[in-house]
A and B are shown apart, each in its own frame.
Chain A
Amino acid sequence: MSLLHFAVLLPFLYTVFVPLFFKKLPRVHTGWFVLIVPLLLFVYFAAQFPLRSGSAPLFQSLSWIPSLGIRFDLHLDGLSMLFALIITGIGFLVIVYSIYYMSKEREALHNFYIYLLVFMGAMLGIVLSDNLMVLYVFWEATSVSSFLLIAYWFQRKRSRYGAQKAMLITVTGGFAMLLGFLMLGSAAGTFSIREIVAMKEVIVNDSLFIPAMLLVLLGAFTKSAQFPFHIWLPDAMEAPTPISAYLHSATMVKAGVYLVARMTPVFGGHMSWFWIITIIGIVTLFWGAFMAIRQFDLKALLAYSTISQLGLIMSLLGIGSLALHTNYEAQAMLFSGAILAAVFHLFNHSIFKGSLFMVVGILDHETGTRDIRKLGGLLSLMPVSFSLTIIGGLSMAGLPPFSGFLSKEMFFTGVLTAYQHIDQWVVLLPIVAWLASVFTFVYCLVFVFKTFTGTYRPERLDKKPHEAPAGMLVSPIVLATLVLVIFFFPNLISYTLLEPAMRSVLPSLLQPGEVFEVDIKPWHGFNTELFMTVGIVVMGSLLYKTYKKWSDIYYNLPRKFDFNHMYDKGLTGAERLSARVTNFYMNGFLHSYLSYIFTFVIIVVGGSFLLQRAFAIDPSTNAVIEWHEYLLAVSIAVSSGFVLFVNSRLTSIIGVGAVGYLVSLLFVIFRAPDLALTQLVVETITTALFLLCFYFLPKLKTEVVRIRVKVSNLLISIGVGTVFTLIGISAQSTNPFKPISHFFLNSYELSGARNMVNSILVDFRAFDTMLESVVLFTAGIGVYTLINLRKSRREKR
């Protein structure tokens, strides 16, 4: 257990105390107590900063499930560092913001902060894990905490719907990813990412290479809301706004981006990796930007914009992966620029989108609505929020003097590089990128101007708007300041934060000790990129002005292509299908259920014995059967037969009891006192229980049963009897396995007990006994619950 492990586990451990703070100190907002966690973690990660000097990344090992090759190994390199700082830094700001956003009187804050902390820990786990299985566990933990946070206001139907949608889509992708990880693991013989990267040559030639790649990408695309899996993100906006700012724009949705970056050393350099990621990314970029314009809800607009920006980062990672391709060795450094652009834009997006979400939260909080049809003219009322929106929005649009401009220019360089070096028709890439950027510019204008300019219509607002309290403004101001600072001094982070991250995405490109050239400059002269930006501003303003004329295309989109519609249809269809399947065999008759169980027993057990030719009857080793043993056997048979023909339930209960007692006599004869004792007592208790239940049972009556049912009953009972008798005889006749009983003979030396049976129960196989007690107790609680449920229902009537 190292400090690094403790850092990942700290948020989880801290959750234990959150309810205490909430319950015992209700007068202080719980957020203040939680704030210390991201603060400590941020300081801790920032203190690990001298990654720049090319020193070896921090690596801490901890054995978890060694028999399966699963080690809880943590690995802090440049990429992890970038993410860890974003997770803890933005986490800190979001919690500060949430203290003013979430009311301590009305909200269940303990739940909120517990989910938030679980998410923070899980996210740190994802970006620090070196082991794929550990990464997967944390991955699903983020899905679960995201589910809980989206459904935080679970009274609302939309929240529940959004939470379910996010869960279904991301967890489906997560499962696919797990499969991909297993394939990778079997190809490489290890789950350690570092070892897998080292064995790249072996994996590339493995037949599972392409399937593993596709499955891992499915996981990454669902998590990062890539087209066509993006539909969950707009619905996830039902979460409280601090959560949207944190999970659904700055961190969790970037987990997919992280995974792609992390896996680039393994898969990168393969053409299909490049094509899939670049195309999906660019389509997502376009579709997200295009759809964002039509949104009326500011958060939905930002959600589509997040989708679009994630697509941008994805496509950059796709282009950058070509740096590892053998055909493009000469242009490797050119393509590596795309990776730099990707990590840079990832950072920029986290800060400007975080601040924009917080501003939307402020608007929602102060005006009571997020609908741009109701908002307008807030400029003079909320000047600070307006400035923040301008900074965030124009950074998103890619204009100077904001940091988004720098990474946007680098993005254009990336797509132009791809076009110049791959093929003629790849010219589509910069064209679509440019178009998407035009739409990005338009929705940024919509966001800024529809809310803050125009006519002020207070009659449409629920509250009288005014500027937010200072506490709420602190976090977005910090982020917006960063946006400005990064534009003027990009090299503050370029060699310290971005270059190490880039180095861990493209480790094989450098000789030890070398570093990438990552001087970021705002001015490159009059080049194509600059003209593209100018074109965006011109074209974008034009489209914004003429929006009314072309907005019809949104309403003429065929419904068939609406993925939300497909999702809903699929969900109801799946529900209907499973209901039909379930109702087909769950008909409520105990008789049917017993038939299923016994038929399966006959088929599976008897069938496998037949197939294995395991039935064997060999009486030669048997001892001589004594006359009293015959007598007992006959009595058992007679009393079982007797049960079949009696007309009263009481008699049949007694008959069944007699069978049990006679069997325990058999145990006595064969010198198994423990078994005999147990059987006797169990028989007593069950007979008593039977008599108790007897009260509820209807009188036995000669039922009119169809002959077909009778025959099938007969066949099933004869089948079960025959199979088990044969198995018993076979077990006694043959001895295919080496007996282990001699081990237990030493029970006195091994466990200090002379009673072998009991020492097996409490010592050698104590795990079985423990779980059996748990099962027994669970069954007891089940009976209690069922009966009390029935009672309370009866009382209601």
Chain B
Amino acid sequence: MKFSDLILQTAAKVLVFIIMTFSIYILFAGHHNPGGGFIGGLITASALMLLYVAFDVETIQEIIPVDFKVIGAIGVLMALLTGIGAIVADVPFLTQVYRYVDLPLLGKTGLGSALVFDLGVYLAVIGTTMTIIRSISEDM
């Protein structure tokens, strides 16, 4: 299927970056404000989906040559490994820790293992959603 909707394509090129940025903001904002890995992942997926709608499958495949199954698997593994990390530290499975550290530029920042976990969820959601969408659209 070849689309050539110029307005949609031009708008998509700009919009995708805005949506992507927003999704990453949402991922990190989740700690104190509305957001989190699940929503962030879905927003990223919707940005990618916009690309698929505006352009055709083959073009996007060339631009983003990643296997989303692998991304999903990495996400699930990350979530699992933060849990196992807790066992290694001799606390119950999936115990999360957080520390406040002073980072250059950012100042006092809270860092937690929960973020790694959330990142795992984020990747799992993107991976799964895109795997499904891609398989269905490739089947056409």
Instruction: State whether B46 touches A783 (Cβ < 8 A).
Output: no
Instruction: State whether A755 touches B30 (Cβ < 8 A).
Output: yes
Instruction: State whether A754 touches B33 (Cβ < 8 A).
Output: yes
Instruction: State whether B98 touches A678 (Cβ < 8 A).
Output: no
Known: A681-B39, A685-B46, A751-B114. A780 touches B94 (CB 8 A): no
Instruction: State whether B35 touches A770 (Cβ < 8 A).
Output: no
Instruction: State whether A783 touches B131 (Cβ < 8 A).
Output: yes
The reply on B76 being an interface residue by CB < 8 A is yes
Contacts of A762 in B (CB 8 A): 30, 36-37, 96, 114, 117-118, 121
The reply on A711 being an interface residue by CB < 8 A is no
Q: Give the residues from 688 to 712 in chain A that come closer than 8 angstroms, CB to CB, to chain B.
A: 688-689, 692-693, 695-696
The reply on A776 being an interface residue by CB < 8 A is yes
Contact with A along B106-119 (1 / 0, CB 8 A): 00001010100110
Contacts of B118 in A (CB 8 A): 758, 761-762
Instruction: State whether A692 touches B112 (Cβ < 8 A).
Output: no
Known: A752-B112, A763-B114, A767-B93. A677 touches B125 (CB 8 A): no
The reply on A528 being an interface residue by CB < 8 A is no
Contact residues on A (Cβ < 8 Å of other chain), bracket: 35 or more
Known: A688-B46, A767-B93, A781-B69. A677 touches B34 (CB 8 A): yes
Stretch of A512-520, A617-625, A721-729, A785-793 at the chain-chain interface: A785-793
Instruction: State whether B35 touches A677 (Cβ < 8 A).
Output: yes
User: Chain B: how many interface residues by the 8 Å CB criterion?
Assistant: 51
Instruction: State whether A766 touches B135 (Cβ < 8 A).
Output: no
How far, in angstroms, from A161 to B88 measured CA to CA in the complex? 44
- How near does chain B come to A651, taking the closest CB pair, in angstroms? 19
* Chain B: CB-nearest residue to A780: B128
Q: When the two chains form the complex, which single residue of B43, B79, B127 contacts A769, counting CB atoms closer than 8 Å?
A: B79
Known: A681-B43, A684-B46, A787-B139. A780 touches B129 (CB 8 A): yes
Instruction: State whether A766 touches B140 (Cβ < 8 A).
Output: no
- How near does chain A come to B77, taking the closest CB pair, in angstroms? 10
How far, in angstroms, from A783 to B68 measured CA to CA in the complex? 13
Q: Which of A693, A762, A787 has the most CB of B within 10 A?
A: A762
Contacts of A754 in B (CB 8 A): 31-33
Instruction: State whether A753 touches B32 (Cβ < 8 A).
Output: yes
Instruction: State whether A773 touches B76 (Cβ < 8 A).
Output: yes
Instruction: State whether B114 touches A695 (Cβ < 8 A).
Output: no
* Chain B: CB-nearest residue to A776: B128
How far, in angstroms, from A524 to B132 measured CA to CA in the complex? 81
Known: A674-B39, A685-B45, A685-B49. A780 touches B72 (CB 8 A): yes
DSSP class of A's interface residues: helix, strand, loop or mixed?
helix
Contacts of A774 in B (CB 8 A): 76, 80
Instruction: State whether B94 touches A693 (Cβ < 8 A).
Output: no
Known: A766-B94, A781-B69. A682 touches B42 (CB 8 A): yes
How far, in angstroms, from A696 to B139 measured CA to CA in the complex? 10
Contacts of B94 in A (CB 8 A): 766-767, 770
The reply on A673 being an interface residue by CB < 8 A is yes
Instruction: State whether A773 touches B35 (Cβ < 8 A).
Output: no
How far, in angstroms, from A677 to B43 measured CA to CA in the complex? 10
The reply on A759 being an interface residue by CB < 8 A is yes
Contacts of A766 in B (CB 8 A): 83, 94, 96, 114, 117
Instruction: State whether A777 touches B124 (Cβ < 8 A).
Output: yes
Known: A777-B75, A780-B72. A755 touches B124 (CB 8 A): no
How far, in angstroms, from A66 to B89 measured CA to CA in the complex? 20
* Chain B: CB-nearest residue to A765: B94
Instruction: State whether A673 touches B34 (Cβ < 8 A).
Output: yes
Instruction: State whether B131 touches A784 (Cβ < 8 A).
Output: yes
Instruction: State whether B114 touches A780 (Cβ < 8 A).
Output: no
Known: A678-B42, A784-B132. A759 touches B114 (CB 8 A): yes
The reply on B60 being an interface residue by CB < 8 A is no
Known: A678-B39, A751-B114, A776-B128. A692 touches B133 (CB 8 A): yes
Q: Which of B31, B45, B83 has the most CB of A within 10 A?
A: B31
Contacts of B35 in A (CB 8 A): 674, 677, 755, 758
* Chain A: CB-nearest residue to B42: A681
How far, in angstroms, from A762 to B83 measured CA to CA in the complex? 11
The reply on A586 being an interface residue by CB < 8 A is no
- How near does chain B come to A79, taking the closest CB pair, in angstroms? 35
How far, in angstroms, from A648 to B50 measured CA to CA in the complex? 24
Known: A673-B34, A777-B76, A791-B139. A681 touches B96 (CB 8 A): no
Known: A689-B136, A791-B139. A755 touches B93 (CB 8 A): no
Q: Which of A673, A777, A779, A790 has the most CB of B within 10 A?
A: A777
The reply on B137 being an interface residue by CB < 8 A is yes
Instruction: State whether A788 touches B135 (Cβ < 8 A).
Output: yes
- How near does chain B come to A28, taking the closest CB pair, in angstroms? 35
Contact with B along A577-603 (1 / 0, CB 8 A): 000000000000000000000000000
- How near does chain B come to A444, taking the closest CB pair, in angstroms? 56
9 tightest Cβ-Cβ pairs between the two chains A and B: A780-B128, A752-B98, A754-B32, A673-B34, A681-B42, A773-B124, A762-B114, A758-B36, A787-B135
What are 17 A-B residue pairs whose CB atoms fall within 8 Å in the complex? Answer: A674-B39, A677-B35, A678-B38, A689-B132, A689-B136, A752-B100, A755-B36, A757-B36, A761-B121, A767-B94, A773-B75, A773-B76, A776-B128, A780-B131, A781-B72, A783-B135, A783-B136
Known: A755-B31, A781-B72. 15 other contacts (CB 8 A): A681-B43, A689-B133, A689-B136, A692-B136, A752-B31, A758-B35, A758-B118, A761-B36, A761-B37, A769-B121, A770-B83, A780-B72, A780-B128, A783-B136, A787-B136
